Structure 1
Amino acid sequence: MVQKDFGAQKKYDNGFKLNELFPLNNVGIVTARDSFVIDSDKETLMNRVKDFYLLDKGELKNKYPIKENSTWKIDDIKIKSKEFNSEYITTISYRLFDQKFIYYNDFFIERPRKETANNFLKAKNLGLTLCKQFKSGDTYQHIFISDKIIESSFVSNKTSEITSIFPLYLYNYSIQTSIEETPERTPNLNVESVNEIADKLGLIFTNEKEITEGTFAPIDILDYIYAVLHSPTYRETYKEFLKIDFPRVPYPIDQKQFWELVALGKQIREIHLLESSEVEDFISSYPVEGTNIVGKPKYEQRNYVVEVDSISNNDTFEPMGRVYINETQYFDNVPQVAWNFYIGGYQPAQKWLKDRKDIELDFDDIMHYNKIIVALTETDRLMKEIDKIY
């Protein structure tokens, strides 16, 4: 029996509901056998699936932690799926900032969610990833972005916070004349809602982004939403409503507010996809050589001495520290805000390392982690900028 602000509810209810704006949406896939059909290394995954066809059931179960159930029998699947096919190897957004390879074959995936997944497998797309409700913590933070199919625990691994994906575009493969040809796509947007946004803004909606003045496109709507859902004020004001259903987003006030929020939403989106050049400008470093094997990650804040004369009234100083991956090796100059930052049910800077316990980080892994630190730090900064506009 949580006390609700009914004045806020009236304002909240005047917004557009995201699962109505995006008619096609569904929860992420469930494999029921992640350890067999998903892997960080493509070659390892391919060899494992090939073994499925080469080894008999006894050898297979001794070599891999693969379990049968009443609807999934190894010998039956061998017969039905016939042979290994490399075309089923694709990438999946498995966890935040953590893409993996998956053998995406209906016979191996418990719940493949084909209707939504098909819009990401063969062509470029974007999807908002949201939880219908949240119960972890007292702050709404259950929003991210993906350009791949997603696993159902992408944003949170809590049963009540299963992740849904909202594709921006829908692809029509039935009229595609060749493999090389890009299939036709249409916005996955409710026409009535889009028309209402267009009327309020005095802009013309186009199915694809144009440079023509006075127009806006699906990507602009997505970026506007992405900015609003990252507003601390929005999250705090409507948190009780966000706990129980997919978000409602207020209609933009005018063109100025809309385009300013679109610009900030775009920045956060590109940072979260690690596409922005910003993430290449590392804050942290990795100064000590060693085994690079992840043990138990820990954060140690460092004490900095700053001369008083060098401090202006406008300066703010973010606590910094070291993220130790083992007893001797660490990422240095990591802002505390990045280490503690939550998205959904995870603290990505911590979870990414914990998921690699006893694994040796290679050069690309080290660079990737440095990018995550920038992404989380910049997200925190941009959220404050959004609140100045929202």
Structure 2
Amino acid sequence: MVSGRGAGRFAVLATDVVADLNTFVPTHVFARYRYEVPNTKDALFDGVEREIRQVDNITDEALAEFQGIYSDTSLTKDDLFAYIYGVLHHPGYTEQYGDNLTKEYPRIPWLKNYRELMEIGEKLLDLHIGYETVEPYPVAEEFTLMPPEDERERYRATIMGHPNKGSGARGKADWDRTRIQVNGYLTLTGVPERASEWILGPRPALELFLQRMRPSIDKKSGIKNDPNEFSEDPKYVVELTKRVIRVCVETSDLLGSYQ
């Protein structure tokens, strides 16, 4: 997914599930594959099970150009996809073309250090797609006051944000990004500051995640959104937060490793 025309700042993110087109406002999706069913008249009603066909969205012509540019016939379409993801995250690319990227589709240059870009792109893809399965970052759980005996209530996510250290310059809040307040009892401490260095659109990716983890009720529909109910595990949100912290830290490290 990439942010579309009119977005304040360019953003890019990979997912292996159906994308929310409101992730970035607006959002464009460039899928690795698409899936088609035979276009047979009345196929929906004839009771015959149709085979879904996977179609590669990277053409043979694009792969041939990629291989030709670098004189390397061992390169695959997955390599090209990883290369593109690596380029789209390159700090030099996003800084130099930031204004263009908010107005038009990204254009991908052929860069000399293509192997490095492929490797970084592949690592970023693995991190961003597999964020739910990475090893949790070893932050500490600090309980204050008298937490409830019930484990589900003790770990229930309600606040999900950085605490305010006090008024900073011009009276603005001075957020302590080394701490995440889960609720009135639990705070995660020892969060590396570089976890907030990965910017996804207008804000740090970690902040966007924390915002999504706060229970809310849609004003128009009245539909309740409570991440605490996404799993039977009472610590689901807390453990997922630790995993996302690792993803943010390692992404920041990778973004700093480009030549």
Q: Post-superposition shift, 1:328? A: 2.7
1:218-250 deviation line (CA, Å, top 9, x unaligned): 211111111111111111111122121011111
User: Which of 193, 199, 207 is 1:336 aligned to?
Assistant: 193
Aligned: 1:174 with 2:38: yes
Match of 1:65 in 2: none
Whether the 8 Å CA contact 2:157–2:183 is kept in 1: the answer is: yes
Question: How do 1:229-378 residues align onto structure 2 when only pairs under 5 Å count?
Answer: 229-253=88-112, 257-274=113-130, 279-288=134-143, 290=148, 291-300=154-163, 321-339=178-196, 341-358=198-215, 359=226, 361=228, 362-378=234-250
After TM superposition, the score normalised by the length of structure 1 is 0.50
Aligned to 1:144: 13
Residue 198 of structure 1 corresponds to 67
Q: Decide whether aligned partners of structure 1 residues 369 and 180 sit closer, same or farther in structure 2, where only a CA change above 3 A counts.
A: farther
Q: Distance in 1 between matches of 2:213 and 2:61?
A: 46
Aligned residue for 2:85?
A: 226
Write the distance in 1 (CA, Å) between the matches of 2:135 and 2:214.
Answer: 25
The corresponding residue for 1:26 is: none
Look up the equivalent residue of 1:246 and give its one-letter code: Y
What is the Cα-based RMSD across aligned positions, in Å? 3.0
Cα deviation code 1:321-356 (max 9, x no counterpart)? 211122331111112232464212454322333334
| 1-structure distance, mates of 2:160, 2:101 | 32
Code of the residue aligned with 1:383 in structure 2: it is: L
Structure 2: distance between partners of 1:360 and 1:168: 29
> Identity rate of aligned residues, in percent?
19
1:334–1:134 Cα change, 3 Å = farther
SS of the equivalent of 1:149 reads coil
Shift of 1:299: 2.2
Deviation at 1:134, TM superposition (A): 4.8
Q: 2:27 aligns with which of 141, 163, 168?
A: 163
Amino acid at match of 1:165: V
Could you say what secondary structure the match of 1:229 adopts? helix
* Rg larger in structure: 1
Shift of 1:372: 0.4
Q: Where in structure 1 are there 5+ consecutive unaligned residues?
A: 1-128, 205-214, 303-318
Letter aligned with residue 201 of structure 2:
G
| Aligned positions of 1:99-118 closer than 5 A | none
The residue type paired with residue 202 of structure 1 is: S
- State the alpha-carbon separation in 2 of the partners of residues 227 and 337 from structure 1: 20
Aligned pair count reads 218
| Cα gap change, 1:281 to 1:357, in 2 (>3 Å) | closer
Secondary structure at the counterpart of residue 269 of structure 1: helix
